[in-house]
Amino acid sequence: MTETEIKKGLAGVVVDTTAVSKVNPETNSLLYRGYPVQELAATQPFEAVAYLLWHGELPTDSQLAALRAEERAQRALADNVRAAIDLLPLEAHPMDEVRTAVSVIGASDTAGGGSVLDASGSPEQNLARSVHLYAALPAIVAYGQRRRRGQELVPPRDDLDYAANFLWMTFGEEADPVVVDAFNRSMILYAEHSFNASTFTARVITSTLSDLTSAVVGAIGALKGPLHGGANEAVMHIFDEIGSAENVVPWLETALAEKRKIMGFGHRVYKHGDSRVPTMKAALDTLVAHYDRPEVAALYDALEHEFVSRKGIYPNLDYPSGPAYNLIGFDTLTFTPLFIASRVTGWTAHIMEQTASNALIRPLSAYNGPDERHIDGYVPDATAQ
């Protein structure tokens, strides 16, 4: 009998097809529905990219206007969602807070028709619920940060686009266009990345014919971990530990001697650099100039230079986005929830794709426990308490 080959972590395993995005590590490229993500980030509002991920094509002016109207109508924090958030301790991790809020939305969502018990997964219902989550998440994330800071809720503004309104609800003041642009780019870069751990989780849940919100809640759980979305938060902890560029070398030597993972570096698929990094680094540079914080760029460059030259492992998107979000004024604990607000578009596009051509995802395992044995031979340990 031949030994079963185990692909630990499903590394290198192709599990299905997708038309949502294409990652090509050889050419260092990422395409959303065929478009290079760099081009989308440089030219499009996040709303248009959300539309592209869901529908497969960029919107016409009237399609974009319709999506924007739908999004604006669902921006405000719902009373029951706010009440659920307020029940949580202030020390709760914001990822748990957002996961709870999304769960509450799912239990009362009638977007796309049907009663609250009807989560049929029809194309119309799934699309409407996707738009609903995408529209509702900024208020949830913004309120979470404000609540932790002891600040009042800021209601949404109908006259601002998605990114500008997100910053308005978080900080209670209109952001500079430079900041809005950098934030919009980050939202686009985070939106989709093929069969990453959280998207795959969402597809596994969807494959059982569970509902869209349950799949998103599961995806949030997968995203929380520091090997996945939690890395942008972890990058900022590293920056805080290091302090300034001159401390990079001794800090890195100690960290490597302790065999620590340096957060924000490395990727399961990209081995020669993450295609999203140059665009996000350029956005970070504009923020560094805008806020006149050259010491942030100095630390960033020093750590990148030292780590890449010693290990040949390159930064991933979380490396520039962590300090970028810090400069904008987000609390470190809010970084991964921002990732949710963006990635919900990619997750839901995959959920709809999975629903359209479903097969239950149920892999096999190779058993390596004890050989068959029988209860007759079982003797309880008399010394056990």
Using the minimum distance from each CB to ligand CMC, give the nearer residue, 12 or 377: 12
Helix axis angle for 318-328 and 335-356, nearest 10°, is: 130
Using the minimum distance from each CB to ligand CMC, give the nearer residue, 316 or 348: 316
Using the minimum distance from each CB to ligand CMC, give the nearer residue, 168 or 265: 265
Chain position whose Cβ is nearest to ligand CMC = 266
Query: Would you call 305 a catalytic residue per the annotation?
Result: no
CB 134, CB 73: distance < 8 Å: no
Q: Identify the active-site residue in 132, 193, 267, 350.
A: 267
Query: Would you call 237 a catalytic residue per the annotation?
Result: no
Q: Identify the active-site residue in 211, 274, 318, 350.
A: 318
Q: Which DSSP helix (H) or strand (E) runs through 29? A: strand 29-32
Minimum CB separation of residue 158 from ligand CMC in Å reads 33
Q: Chain-centre distance of CA 40, in angstroms?
A: 18
Task: Give me the helices (H) in 18-161, please.
Answer: 37-43, 46-55, 61-73, 79-87, 94-108, 123-148
Q: CA torsion 213→93→295→176, rounded to 10°?
A: 50
Q: Which long-range CB contacts under 8 A does 117-120 form with residues at least 24 apart?
A: 119/211, 119/212, 119/213
Minimum CB separation of residue 222 from ligand CMC in Å reads 10
Minimum CB separation of residue 73 from ligand CMC in Å reads 31
Q: Chain-centre distance of CA 383, in angstroms?
A: 50
Minimum CB separation of residue 304 from ligand CMC in Å reads 12
d(CA 382, CA 384): 6
Minimum CB separation of residue 228 from ligand CMC in Å reads 4
d(CA 321, CA 318): 5
d(CA 33, CA 323): 29
Using the minimum distance from each CB to ligand CMC, give the nearer residue, 77 or 95: 95
Using the minimum distance from each CB to ligand CMC, give the nearer residue, 71 or 233: 233
CB 42, CB 49: distance < 8 Å: no
Minimum CB separation of residue 22 from ligand CMC in Å reads 16
Q: Identify the active-site residue in 228, 285, 290, 331.
A: 228
Query: Would you call 267 a catalytic residue per the annotation?
Result: yes
Kind of pairing between the strands at 21-24 and 35-36: unpaired
Using the minimum distance from each CB to ligand CMC, give the nearer residue, 77 or 262: 262
Q: Where do contacts with ligand CMC occur on this chain (CB under 6 A)?
A: 196, 227-229, 231, 261-268, 313, 316-318
Using the minimum distance from each CB to ligand CMC, give the nearer residue, 7 or 374: 7
Query: Hey, what are 21's tokens?
Result: 């995005």
Minimum CB separation of residue 231 from ligand CMC in Å reads 4
Give 259-307 as a 3 state SS string: CCCCCCECCCCCCCCCCCHHHHHHHHHHHHHHHCCHHHHHHHHHHHHHH
CB 135, CB 344: distance < 8 Å: no
Residues known to be catalytic:
228, 267, 318
